[in-house]
Every structure is written in structure tokens, then in C-alpha cells.
Amino acid sequence: MKFLIAFVALFAVVAHLNAAPLNAQQQATVQIVRSDSDVGPEGYNYAYETSDGTSAQATAKLLNAGTDSEALSVQGSYQYIGDDGVTYSVQYIADENGFQPQGAHLPVAPEA
């Protein structure tokens, strides 16, 4: 359970750092349009959307509960409108293999 809480906190920080910075006027006018969440011992899910076009959603499942190979598997996405007016979208998986993002604006490693 501690791992779940730590992971959720880490994800919130990463999502916040990836969001485009807002000027003072934008910060004063951005409203939460939708916010849903459900957290349980075997996983969680959440979704939110704001009036400035930012949104995110994720679903997590606890795998191998109570074993030495216990792991959290998360699938989600987020999007925001950048300073250049372009909407940036990222889909990701975060599991025992690490954070694996995909997005049209992200570089792709060459095939080995």
C-alpha cells in the first residue's frame, strides 16, 4: 500500500511537471470541468479535465498481491495545450518495466 501511495504521488509530480506553465491570468480563470477517482487496495483509476484543455486519466492494477513480485501496472494518458497552441498528447504504460510514454511529439529510439 505504501508503494501505491508513493507511486500516485510521484505520478502527480511528473504530470504536473509535464504540463505547460500558465500565466497569472490563465491560472485565475482555469476551472476543473470534470474530476473522478476511485482508489482501492487492488488499484485505482482517475480522470480529470480542466477548462484550459488539460486532461488526464489513468487506471492501475496491483499485480501479484502479497508476493515478492508485487507490482503496480498503470495505463493512462494526459494532454495539454502548449505555449505554441499545439495540443500535446501522451499515452503511457508504467509497470515493472518502467515508464513507457508514446506521443507524436516524443522521440522514438531507433530499432536495434
Could you tell me the residue ranges of all domains in the chain? 51-106
Please report which confidence band the pLDDT of residue 111 belongs to, taking 50, 70 and 90 as the band edges. Answer: confident
Q: What is the pLDDT of residue 19?
A: 59
pTM above 0.85, yes or no: no
Closest CA to 57 of 44, 42, 40: 44
Please report which confidence band the pLDDT of residue 15 belongs to, taking 50, 70 and 90 as the band edges. Answer: low
Closest CA to 52 of 74, 85, 77: 85
